[in-house]
Structure 1
Amino acid sequence: MQYYTILPPPDLAPFVRCFWVLEHEVSSEKPYFHKTLADACAELVFHYKGTFDEIDRSGKTSPSFTAGLTGPTSLYRRFRISENFGIFGVYLYPFAVPAMFAIPATETVNEMPDLYSILGKMGSDLEEKMTLAENNQARIAIMCRFMRGCLQRNARPEPAAFSMISQIIQSNGLTSVTELAERNALSTRQFERKFKAFSGFSPKLFSRIIRFHAAMNSYGDQQKSLTEIAYEAGYYDQSHFIHDFKTFSGEHPGTYFSGNSEATEYRDV
């Protein structure tokens, strides 16, 4: 299995956190299972090789998209594939969706629309180019051109809103919402309304998911106990940590940090 990330060019860095690639040769005897966890940020995802099936809570499967948008989500999902695969992802700040596509962030929360559903023929053309691209460097170039064009056509500059969301991400969800509202000369209600319009979530839920990700970033550090991970991520006690981890991942943090989770296999390469 191969997994790696690439930083975006400076002009797109305010909207794109990174590009990423995941490739794997699947054994004919054992399918590959993948689990995605709650995430306050959105992603554009292109399966240029292989097609995954999504497994719902009852165990039923249905084909997932080959190219689409994963909106900000408070849910976890499971997928399965029995063939070799290659995936190219564009990890976006949540406000990139309304900025690039003029789609309110709230309309994409917990949704996974395919590219044609949100972009029409432009989405189909983009999917074809990404699938047929010679390599992942070519895919980066295609995506950069595409996103620059979208920003020129649709950009809704809201630097204050973008900054507020970025500050919560950079502080790992520990920024005070009240203080952030005051610094931007907004009432708490005004702040929450503007924040949700560009992030899809209330500031409180957004911060919880960001804090959850801060805890996940300790994966692989065998020297830390679950209690240490919880406190470093800003949880007041272990019970809150366990509660949020189960809510956003569907499993106990002990399972995740032991490496026995479908959500961590790609991180072990």
Structure 2
Amino acid sequence: MDYRTYTPAPKLTGVVNCYWTLEAPAQVSAEKQHIVPDGCMEMIFHYGDAFRQYMPDGSSLVQPLCFVFGQVTRPLAIEPTGATGIFSVRFQPEGFAAFATMPVSNMENRAVPLDELFGADGSLLATAVLNAGQTEARIRLVEDFLIEKLITEESVSTLIRSSIELIMQLNGQVSVGELTDSLHVNRRQLERKFMKNTGLSVKQLSRIVRLQATLKRLAGQQPGTLTAVAHAGNYYDQAHFIRDFRSFTGMSPKQFYGGHLRLSALFSGMG
């Protein structure tokens, strides 16, 4: 696999985390990849073959080639259908709200085609990016599009950005009450604005951030250290950590790390 990341233009750093590309040859026997949520929405362009997405009821569908994937809040499994060639925009947790043409909460666990979000402009962008031969050209096309579509710099409030920064700094180990006390804001107001701008509740993002921070500690360690890792992540005990992990991935940490982790790590922002 060839995985690379790129820094966005200064005008977009407040809303875009990074761009990334992934290329890999087709596999004789493709395997499902279980994605761990990272609190970030993604705009994805498959210039290779499409991916298959598995649904909770056991059914599956082939994703569109170009789409924005909403917040992941439940187990998500995907599988390449051939050769992998992906260019992706990873937004900040609140970043896509600056471009959204529908409530971001309506995009949860969905691959929403670009033409559904942006009409003819989305179709034109998809065609241009897929036909571009180099990453630098794809970045220019996407940045021109995003800068043009940027609603306003003030479309995401200072309150939400401050809340997310605090959650990140504390690795998700903060309650809603502690946030509202620290920011001197009404709880209902914070929850409403948070959902509008991120597509997640405060508690959901905190759980995701804490899980990601804990997984970074777990990476490269032996399964026998799960108790210590859970303690470092401020979980009540190992069972609490495993329950939280399973609620997002559908499997235990030992099962997840015992399989083919690489693609899952990249898609979840762990890479």
Q: When the two structures are superposed, what TM-score results if normalisation uses the length of structure 1? A: 0.88
- The equivalent residue for 1:244 is 244
Report if the CA contact (8 A) 1:30-1:82 is conserved: no
Report if the CA contact (8 A) 1:164-1:180 is conserved: yes
Q: Deviations over 1:218-254 (max 9, x none)?
A: 3532368212222233323111100011110111111
Equivalent AA in structure 2 for residue 6 of structure 1? Y
Q: Deviations over 1:15-70 (max 9, x none)?
A: 1111111111013x322533323342211111011112223345433221101011
Following TM superposition, by how much is the alpha carbon of 1:147 offset from its aligned partner in structure 2, in angstroms? Answer: 1.3
Q: Deviations over 1:98-132 (max 9, x none)?
A: 21224332222222211111111111011111101
Backbone CA RMSD of aligned residues: 2.6
Cα distance in 2 for partners of 1:121, 1:226 equals: 49
Following TM superposition, by how much is the alpha carbon of 1:152 offset from its aligned partner in structure 2, in angstroms? Answer: 5.0
- The equivalent residue for 1:144 is 143
1:31 is aligned to 2:55: no
Between 1:259-268 and 1:109-118, the stretch displaced more is 259-268
Matches for 1:1-269 after TM superposition, within 5 Å = 1-27=1-27, 29-152=28-151, 156-218=155-217, 220-222=219-221, 225-261=225-261, 264=264
Secondary structure, aligned partner of 2:4: strand
Following TM superposition, by how much is the alpha carbon of 1:191 offset from its aligned partner in structure 2, in angstroms? Answer: 1.8
Point out where structure 1 has 5 or more consecutive residues left out of the alignment: none
Secondary structure, aligned partner of 1:20: strand
Equivalent AA in structure 1 for residue 82 of structure 2? E
Cα distance in 2 for partners of 1:44, 1:251 equals: 26
Going from structure 1 to structure 2, the CA distance change for 1:188 and 1:253 (only over 3 Å counts) comes to same
Following TM superposition, by how much is the alpha carbon of 1:259 offset from its aligned partner in structure 2, in angstroms? Answer: 4.5
Going from structure 1 to structure 2, the CA distance change for 1:218 and 1:88 (only over 3 Å counts) comes to farther
Going from structure 1 to structure 2, the CA distance change for 1:223 and 1:77 (only over 3 Å counts) comes to closer
Equivalent AA in structure 2 for residue 233 of structure 1? G
Between 1:240-249 and 1:80-89, the stretch displaced more is 80-89
Going from structure 1 to structure 2, the CA distance change for 1:180 and 1:60 (only over 3 Å counts) comes to closer
Report if the CA contact (8 A) 2:75-2:249 is conserved: yes
Secondary structure, aligned partner of 1:217: helix
Cα distance in 2 for partners of 1:79, 1:168 equals: 28
Going from structure 1 to structure 2, the CA distance change for 1:201 and 1:47 (only over 3 Å counts) comes to same
Between 1:60-69 and 1:50-59, the stretch displaced more is 50-59
Equivalent AA in structure 2 for residue 69 of structure 1? V
Report if the CA contact (8 A) 1:39-1:210 is conserved: yes
Going from structure 1 to structure 2, the CA distance change for 1:137 and 1:229 (only over 3 Å counts) comes to farther
Following TM superposition, by how much is the alpha carbon of 1:155 offset from its aligned partner in structure 2, in angstroms? Answer: 5.8
Equivalent AA in structure 1 for residue 7 of structure 2? L
Q: Deviations over 1:144-182 (max 9, x none)?
A: 211111115686141222221232134321234223212
Cα distance in 2 for partners of 1:245, 1:157 equals: 29
Report if the CA contact (8 A) 1:100-1:154 is conserved: no
Equivalent AA in structure 2 for residue 88 of structure 1? F
Q: When the two structures are superposed, what TM-score results if normalisation uses the length of structure 2? A: 0.88
Following TM superposition, by how much is the alpha carbon of 1:141 offset from its aligned partner in structure 2, in angstroms? Answer: 1.8
Equivalent AA in structure 2 for residue 56 of structure 1? M
Secondary structure, aligned partner of 2:34: strand
Identify the structure with the greater helix proportion.
Answer: 2
Give % identity: 30
